[in-house]
Structure 1
Amino acid sequence: MNNLLFVGVISVVLAIVLIWGFKMLPNEKWQILGAIPQKKTEDGKWIGENFTYYGIFNATAIGFSVIIMLILLGSANVPLSFMLCFVVAILGLCVPASKIVARIVEKKSYTLSVGGAFFVGIILMPWIAIFMSAVFKKWWGYHISVVHVLSAILIAYAFGEGIGRLACISFGCCYGKPLDELSPFLRKVFDRYNFIYTGKTKKIAYASCLDGKKIAPVQAITCIICCLSGIIGIYLYLEGYPQAAFIETLAVTQIWRFLSEFLRADYRGDKKISSYQIMAFISFFYGTLIIFFIPFIQFTNTDIMSGMSLIWTPSIILFIQGIWWFTFFNCGRSRVTGATMTFYVHNDKI
């Protein structure tokens, strides 16, 4: 009953957030969160640095993912010290990878790639988990199920990918093709369900001049598919099937990533099959293969209440807040937009 209640609450909250996001975020006002004045010009104006909702939604996506991962690992009796070390290791690996892979594939210095970060993560993550579990067993006597660890991180990734696409809708990146470039069937489907972006600072406007046109809502589809995959993964995990949860979330997210590329209009490289599609293909088969070679420790049951109580402590709350702020400042500072500001006094209020 507790498992169903937990899954149900998450489902309702996500449904509300996603529906709101699909309706509001393509609008111009939901790109720039605020600007901080940096330098005064000769004419008395200020040059400002923009902070975006892209950073807000990415930070929230990663924060929520970390919470889910900690709850799931706590429910499987994985020690807190292991969890925190593992989270720091994964973020320390994937955050730089998101920039490096985008720079290699897209030849752009100020672009992030979730697909690139995941590819690097899925390749190295099993070995990091195996190494850390061996260290914890040798020095502290903990018997940690690597399968549960990998399954929890895949479920967390599914939510991060899903919620994180709200950031893409807000900034106008990772956008779909205009309806007139789609097949008659898809054109008919998306004629009712589509995005129309407004604002010249949205990437879809300055990169492809597609603002004001009906666009295939590929980010919204990704939100729905990935979040549903995460919800199913949570239930399988809590019911004692971590391997199935791992394979389910890996298969759904990576197969959809491969297919979704055909609906996207933003630059993905010069080839028909993009580098990101190849990464998704390799990630799926690599992850599916390796999960069966990792020793599996079977628990009699997982206790969701243990996982919930774990995160409701001051140290964990501060840890998650730290991750949120780090992500916000890393992703939210806009390098491709700027601001000009003036300040004045309301004389009638003096």
Structure 2
Amino acid sequence: MSVMNQGRRANKLVGNKNSILYMDLKDIVRNHALQFLPAKSLFRFTGVCRDWKLDITTPFFAHKQSNSFRGISGFFFQSGTAPPSFISLDPKAYGVPDPSLSFLPEPVEIRSSSNGLLCCQAHDGSKAYYICNPVTRKWKKLPKPNADHGSNPAIVLIFEPSLLNFVAEYKLICVFPSVDFDNGYEFEIYSSRDETWRVSGEIYFGHQHLVPRTGVHVNDIVYWVLDYQILVFDLTMERAQQLSGNFYGTGGVGALGLMDGKLCLTTPSPTGLTVKVLANAYTNTMGMHSNARAWETKHQISLSPPPFRASDYNPRMTSNILFAGGNVVLYRSGGNLHTYDLKTKETQCLGDELDQNARIVSHVNSLVEI
């Protein structure tokens, strides 16, 4: 009986030698940690050894990394027709080899971003759309849309990495003023799977002005800021509606974003920030005396410096919350750009704001293949 038990224990021990407990540290890091790192760090780690370099440069690793790393890494800034520049939240960890996007065949304006991909549009000529990854410098030119999107298109890029899709599948959706119906907005959708544009049959009628660069995608629904409300477009049902949302805090104009899988509304105050999440999108269909609220306060944050100074800004005109998504809020104060990290509760000054009218787009340092 003891001999049999010893044999069982021996076999069990031999089997365990193949487990993670008996792996070398470099193999543990390579197999279980590298995929969670940003692209710039990974390029630096290709010099550790030949095995790491071979792994990091494979398409399969790029696929794993694009599914594992989703953190906001920095922001592209662009003024007028000048080439874009990039400000990293951590220059040692995050970066792109060519922030000006000179690898594209013509000068462009960055319109939208999503999980490592950028949607850009040519300044002149055909106004062609491009999808690119600024880390790998790979790009694709899209076919011409069916509709005229205007000079400042309210376009949103949607890319949700999936373990089941080794080739990035993405969509673009643009809301544009209808040429056939007064006070009407129509929607055009591009699918990378079909490589075609298609104008939806849905039309939204409203007298409010649409703010182009405010589009946010959350769970197959896209939201844009109107003058005093939110325009909602359900991609699955292809239906549009209006949602209440007060963007004017006591300290200026707020911003829509995605936090913890939910739509959030971040507004400034003279002392800090208020972050609300969408709790009920259907309050406009309920009875007059219903106590249901569309938004619930998630965070009440005190900041130094604050995102608003009464002597500097008109709260009805200034968008001093420039970005709010993931765990990062980007805001202006006293001519400088600052970030606040909701996890670490740390504030960081990114430097002087040279142009208050500059266009700002977030970036995720991903290896995603187009």
Tell me the TM-score normalized by structure 2: 0.22
Higher relative contact order (CA 8 A, sep 6+): 1
Q: Please state which structure has a larger fraction of its residues in strand.
A: 2
Q: Please state which structure has a larger fraction of its residues in helix.
A: 1
* Structure with bigger gyration radius: 2
